[in-house]
């Protein structure tokens, strides 16, 4: 009996060890052992594509202020709690505009032949008055008009547009691209870019196409003034539908929003693919009558004035009042399901934190995941969060000194190839050493920046406040050329292996900052770069 009892005690001890082994292991493990466990967990048991499926396929477009955004945020918070996080919740902030939902959008050509049209509805624009069937007309405004020129033009066309579908502007001429951009950045370019001894100012990971600037003329109205008067003219003259040219190749469409967020100040508006727009424009221009049919149904959401950031946490131990953050923006535009911008970023950052939880890391500092709302309208969610929780270098809050860095990702599916941290060179050196073992994943290094300019994506909300925001350089894949803000931004455009490797690198970097004795170095007193001048 005694021998059996001893065996039972031994079996119970094995069970206890098996339960608590991860915690015990990672309290004593070397960094190499932790990194090996991170790699194994991230490559063999990844949840990234599952998270991406829910955020894109199930919840779809996640426009700020919409029920889709709120529901996806609730799902993300629940999922992190299911993984064993200590916190998973929504934190409100004031968007200040009602939400907007597109419920139906049908567009057809009835004459001279029958055909289906491809377009996206501009956000925060109204429904049509039922099913609209009417003729198309073209409007081409004078280039950079004075007030007199614009008024004269409006008077000349007002009798032609009443009750019609109006195409505004000439169709764009999109040349064939004989030199498409590379999908990967070459190692030699990145080695120069992330060489701390040879830093050159770097631009964004891609540059949106720009129209050539038109020389100014005396008394010309600004673009904003022309747009405001055009909107008012179309409303006053009972235009049934406004059509804008997408002006992009191969059916790509980018549809943003009515800049006023007030559906009463604009007519129903669609952005049509260049191929359909050009066809209709040419027919009308050559005096062939074109009859179109539209049925657009949209809905305002009053509750959308309050939006949300998702916050998930793994509580720290001896330094739990200090925090290391990572995240990306959850909101998206509405033309597609927002996979590369930025559901994949959210899935990667959730995964990075999940990996650390799954392998039993007990971080000294609290690890906090943030999925922002309102990024697409101007980094609104992250700015509100930083102001509320941290303040700024000029007006610091109680937690300003306890912040240890925020990692951000927001440039598509490509794996991360380097990082930029706001802070002194010592901050970059720490992250460079932490990420050096991932050269086999194509990671090339870390450099420091002194810029507090706000823009681009959410880590600049931290930089702007004088806090260590950490942005990343990713392989572009098809982000700037195909998926950024377009109707092609879907689940199918994701490269799973790239996303897994990004999550692994982030997990390792977060682990280092969460476990080291000191916070990431900051600029010393008197060395903080000044904030940028306020914009007019």
What predicted TM-score, i.e. pTM, was given to this entire model?
0.92
What does the alpha-carbon distance between residue 465 and residue 459 come to, in Å, rounded to a whole number?
Answer: 10
Q: Nearest-CA neighbor of 162 among 230, 108, 241, 272?
A: 241
3-state secondary structure (DSSP) of residue 64: coil
Q: What is the pLDDT along the chain (536 residues), one digit of tens a residue?
A: 444 444 444 334 333 333 334 444 455 689 999 999 999 999 999 999 999 999 999 999 999 999 999 999 999 999 999 999 999 999 999 999 999 999 999 999 999 999 999 999 999 999 999 999 999 999 999 999 999 999 999 999 999 999 999 999 999 999 999 999 999 999 999 999 999 987 654 444 445 555 555 556 789 999 999 999 999 999 999 999 999 999 999 999 999 999 999 999 999 999 999 999 999 999 999 999 999 999 999 999 999 999 999 999 999 999 999 999 999 999 999 999 999 999 999 999 999 999 999 999 999 999 999 999 999 999 999 999 999 999 999 999 999 999 999 999 999 999 999 999 999 999 999 999 999 999 999 999 999 999 999 999 999 999 999 999 999 999 999 999 999 999 999 999 999 999 999 999 999 999 999 999 999 999 988 999 999 987 64
- In angstroms, rounded to a whole number, what is the distance separating the alpha carbons of residues 403 and 483? 34
DSSP three-state, residue 361: coil
For residue 132, give the nearest of 294, 266, 270 by alpha carbon. Answer: 294
Residues 6+ apart with CB under 8 A from 32: 437
Instruction: List the structure tokens of 130.
Output: 């039922």
> Residues 6 or more apart from 68 whose CB is under 8 A from it?
59, 60, 61, 62, 101
Structure tokens belonging to residue 294 = 């539209």
């Amino acid at each position: 009996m005694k021998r059996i009892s001893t065996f039972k005690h031994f079996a119970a001890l094995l069970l206890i060890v098996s339960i608590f082994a991860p915690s015990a292991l990672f309290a004593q493990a070397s960094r190499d052992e932790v990194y090996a466990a991170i790699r194994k967990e991230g490559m063999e048991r990844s949840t990234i594509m599952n998270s991406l499926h829910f955020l894109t396929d199930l919840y779809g477009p996640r426009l700020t202020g919409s029920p889709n955004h709120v529901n996806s945020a609730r799902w993300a918070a629940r999922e992190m709690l299911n993984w064993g996080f200590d916190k998973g919740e929504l934190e409100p902030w004031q968007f200040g505009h009602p939400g907007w939902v597109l419920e139906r959008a049908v567009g057809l050509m009835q004459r001279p032949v029958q055909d289906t049209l491809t377009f996206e509805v501009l956000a925060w624009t109204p429904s049509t008055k039922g099913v609209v069937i009417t003729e198309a007309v073209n409007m081409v405004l004078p280039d950079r008009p004075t007030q007199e020129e614009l008024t004269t033009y409006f008077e000349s066309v007002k009798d032609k547009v009443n009750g019609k579908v109006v195409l505004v502007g000439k169709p764009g001429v999109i040349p064939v691209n004989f030199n498409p951009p590379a999908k990967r950045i070459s190692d030699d370019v990145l080695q120069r870019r992330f060489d701390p001894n040879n830093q050159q100012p770097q631009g964004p990971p891609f540059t949106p196409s720009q129209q050539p600037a038109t020389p100014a003329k005396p008394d010309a109205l600004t673009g904003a003034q022309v747009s405001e008067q055009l909107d008012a003219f179309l409303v006053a003259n009972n235009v049934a539908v406004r059509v804008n040219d997408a002006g992009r190749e191969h059916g790509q469409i980018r549809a943003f929003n009515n800049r006023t967020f007030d559906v009463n100040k604009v007519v129903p508006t669609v952005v049509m693919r260049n191929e359909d727009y050009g066809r209709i424009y040419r027919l009308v221009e050559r005096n062939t009558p074109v009859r179109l049919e539209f049925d657009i149904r949209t809905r305002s959401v009053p509750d959308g004035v309050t939006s949300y950031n998702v916050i998930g946490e793994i509580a720290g131990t001896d330094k739990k009042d200090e925090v290391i953050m990572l995240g990306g923006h959850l909101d998206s535009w509405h033309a597609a399901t927002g996979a590369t911008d930025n559901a994949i970023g959210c899935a990667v950052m959730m995964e990075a934190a999940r990996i650390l939880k799954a392998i039993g890391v007990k971080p000294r500092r609290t690890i906090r995941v943030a999925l922002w709302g309102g990024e697409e309208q101007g980094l609104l969610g992250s700015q509100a969060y930083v102001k509320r929780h941290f303040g700024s270098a000029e007006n610091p809050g109680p937690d300003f000194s306890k912040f240890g860095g925020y990692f951000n990702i927001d440039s598509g599916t490509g794996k991360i190839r380097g990082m930029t941290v706001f802070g002194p060179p010592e901050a970059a050196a720490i992250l460079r050493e932490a990420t050096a073992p991932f050269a086999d994943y194509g990671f090339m290094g870390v450099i420091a920046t002194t810029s507090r300019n706000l823009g681009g994506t959410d880590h600049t909300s931290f930089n702007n406040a004088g806090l260590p925001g950490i942005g990343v350089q990713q392989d572009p894949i098809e982000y700037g050329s195909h998926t950024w803000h377009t109707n092609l931004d879907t689940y199918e455009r994701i490269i799973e292996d790239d996303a897994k490797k990004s999550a692994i690198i982030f997990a390792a970097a977060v682990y280092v900052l969460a476990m080291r004795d000191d916070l990431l170095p900051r600029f010393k007193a008197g060395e903080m770069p000044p904030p940028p001048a306020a914009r007019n």
